[in-house]
Amino acid sequence: QVQLVESGGGLVQAGGSLRLSCAASGRTLSNYAMGWFRQAPGKERDIVAAITWSGGIPYYAHSVKGRFTISRDNAKNTVYLQMNSLKPEDTAEYYCAADPNWAIITSPHGGGMDYWGKGTLVTVSS
């Protein structure tokens, strides 16, 4: 079994930055792609960004492209999400996810995902 634990959320003003981390434990995530999803109040959980095991060309949702950067450190079993130029509409619970299937890790809402973290809250004030 794998546990994913997110950290780094908090309150930030519009235009500011935050860096989220997701640490995996339990067993190696060899060949697993990892991603970040977010869920705003009253809305579905949506894909934000994803990255393959090898760290190849990442995937970004249109709404965050150019502002967010996903990366991973396999030696530390950790994936990161650097969020710059934050906007109030980025306010949401952010979830880390892991799955070996690229189609699942980049799906709009993450249906069928192997592993989810419990989330970390990001609040962007205007």
Does 105 score more than 80 pLDDT?
Answer: yes
Mean pLDDT across 96-107 = 97
Q: For 10-57, what is each residue's pLDDT tens digit?
A: 999 999 999 999 999 987 788 899 999 999 999 999 999 999 999 888
**Predicted local confidence at residue 27, as pLDDT:** 79
Q: How many CA atoms lie within 13 A of 56 on its CB side?
A: 7
pLDDT of residue 43: 97
Smallest CA-to-CA distance from 31 within 93, 105, 91 is with: 105
| Residue of 77, 73, 80 lying closest to 21 (CA atoms) | 80
The pLDDT tens digits for 65-88 are: 999 999 999 999 999 999 999 999
